Amino acid sequence: MSERAVCITGAAGFLGSSLAARLLRDGYTVSGLDDFSHGDPSRIEHLAGHKNFRFIEGDVRNETAVAEAVAGCGQVVHLAELKIPRYGHALDTLEVNAVGVEMVLDAARKAGAAFVLGSTDEVYGKNADASLNEESVLVMGRTDSSRWSLGVSKLMAEQLTLAFRDEYQLPVTILRYFGLYGPGQATDWTGGPQAVFVTNALKNEALPIHGDGLQIRTFTHIDDAVQGTVLALEQPYARDEIVNIAGRDHVNILNLAYMVWRLSRNPAKPLLEFTPYSDFTPNYEDVSQRIADITKARYLLGFDPRIPLESGFSATIEWQAKVLGLSPGGR
């Protein structure tokens, strides 16, 4: 079984589809799994005819579908997950992210494949240290606030991944992605605040800001995230490691909004609409800053994110305008 045959769960997602395209370009064989609950078929349409690509439509909790997707693969990249319990049932988030990962871990074990878990900066939770590295404490807020369901479910996924390594000597890698954006992103809230900002700026509608907008986030261009993932697949040093994958730039949400507005070439002054947290789910808590330390990825894997925020967003806005049938600057 070849390490150059890779199964990607969540293959019709933003990262999954981008990774699949890159791996196929690099000569890998790719097997994709997605149930299209959030993934979008249009993201993988252009891959459908590729001789080294096969696709299985199915849920990560479905043992048969998972086994079929993993068959023949030397590595599995598990990216299928549900985010943002704020907008749906927290139960689904807990189930898909924890039960799903166990199903895929078990399939990887049976197939003798190495396992890469796609995790998230959300596991750092409320930790607002000047920068977050892989040994930083993971601070979850009170359990009666459903926003922490995502972080807790991903902590669970990380623990399960490492337990499979200990119990079965399964080779594993955990990648914690920070704030992905770029062409191919979801254009609503599931894509993150920047996706909504772009859509609204193009439509000349106010950009919704949660709280005071001073919360700082690290944003990562999709191409950099894909590059980091490929390094983890190809670099043996990544085995048994937890690694942050993030871009170079962090910015507060207010300034992100200004940048998106300007790059959308909107002639009017930026329109902003502030939403207090009290309008969210009960006991909602935000995080004042989340800044990635990517020293480990840099020195262990040779990861070197290249795309600056402004040029990354220019291209993203062009793409999103085309997808939504809008034009930057025009009306």
Partner 1 sequence: MNRILITGAAGFIGSNLAEALIAEGHSVVGLDNLSQGDLRNLAACQNHERFSFHKGDIRDATLMDELISGVDTVYHMAAFKIPRYSSALDTLRVNTHGTRVVLDAAARHDVHAIIASTSDCYGRNPAVPFHEQSDMWMGASSVKRWAYAVSKMFDEHLCYALREHSKLRFTIIRFFGGYGPHQNLTWWGGPQSVFIGAALRDQELELHGDGQQTRSFTFIGDNVNGLMRCLNNDKALGQAFNLGNTREITIEGLARMIWRMAGVGEPKIKRISYRTFGKYEDVMRRVPDISKARELLGYEPRTDLEQGLPITIDWQRRVMAENAGGNA
Half-sphere exposure of 272 (CA within 13 A, CB side): 18
Structure tokens at 21: 């395209």
Task: Please give the Cα distance from 162 to 324 (Å, whole number).
Answer: 41
Q: By CB under 8 A, which span of 43-51, 59-67, 128-136, 306-314 interacts with partner 1?
A: 128-136
Closer residue to partner 1, CB minimum distance, 27 or 278 = 278
Q: By CB under 8 A, which span of 23-31, 34-42, 149-157, 247-255 interacts with partner 1?
A: 149-157
177 lies in the site for partner 1, by CB under 8 A: no
296 lies in the site for partner 1, by CB under 8 A: no
- Interface with partner 1 (CB under 8 A), residue total 38
140 lies in the site for partner 1, by CB under 8 A: yes
Residues present in the chain in total? 331
289 lies in the site for partner 1, by CB under 8 A: no
279 lies in the site for partner 1, by CB under 8 A: no
Contact residue for partner 1 among 25, 27, 130, 135 (CB under 8 A): 135
| Element of type H or E holding 318 | helix 309-324
Q: Do 105 and 115 meet the contact criterion of CB atoms below 8 Å apart? A: yes
| Cβ atoms within 10 Å, residue 216 | 17
86 lies in the site for partner 1, by CB under 8 A: no
Q: Do 192 and 257 meet the contact criterion of CB atoms below 8 Å apart? A: no
CA distances from 111 to 27, 68, 92, 126 (A): 22, 10, 27, 37
Contact residue for partner 1 among 160, 196, 254, 321 (CB under 8 A): 160
Closer residue to partner 1, CB minimum distance, 77 or 155 = 155
Tell me the CA end-to-end span of the chain in Å, nearest whole number. 54
Q: Do 294 and 246 meet the contact criterion of CB atoms below 8 Å apart? A: yes
Closer residue to partner 1, CB minimum distance, 24 or 139 = 139
Task: Tell the smallest beta-carbon distance from residue 274 to partner 1 (Å).
Answer: 25
Closer residue to partner 1, CB minimum distance, 89 or 262 = 89
Q: By CB under 8 A, which span of 33-41, 154-162, 177-185, 215-223 interacts with partner 1?
A: 154-162
Contact residue for partner 1 among 17, 18, 75, 153 (CB under 8 A): 153
- Tokens 């993030």 found at: 246
Closer residue to partner 1, CB minimum distance, 152 or 201 = 152
Q: Do 28 and 18 meet the contact criterion of CB atoms below 8 Å apart? A: no
126 lies in the site for partner 1, by CB under 8 A: yes
Half-sphere exposure of 287 (CA within 13 A, CB side): 24
Using DSSP bridges, classify how beta strands 172-177 and 53-57 pair: parallel, antiparallel or unpaired: unpaired
What does DSSP assign to residue 99?
Answer: I
Contact residue for partner 1 among 111, 123, 222, 321 (CB under 8 A): 123
Q: By CB under 8 A, which span of 22-30, 66-74, 151-159, 249-257 interacts with partner 1?
A: 151-159
Closer residue to partner 1, CB minimum distance, 63 or 304 = 63
Within 216-255, which residues bind partner 1 (CB under 8 A)?
242
Q: Burial level of 117, CB count in 10 A (0-12/13-18/19+)?
A: buried
Residues engaged in binding partner 1 (CB under 8 A): 89-91, 93-94, 98, 102, 123, 125-126, 134-144, 146, 148-149, 152-153, 155-156, 158-160, 162-164, 166-167, 174, 242
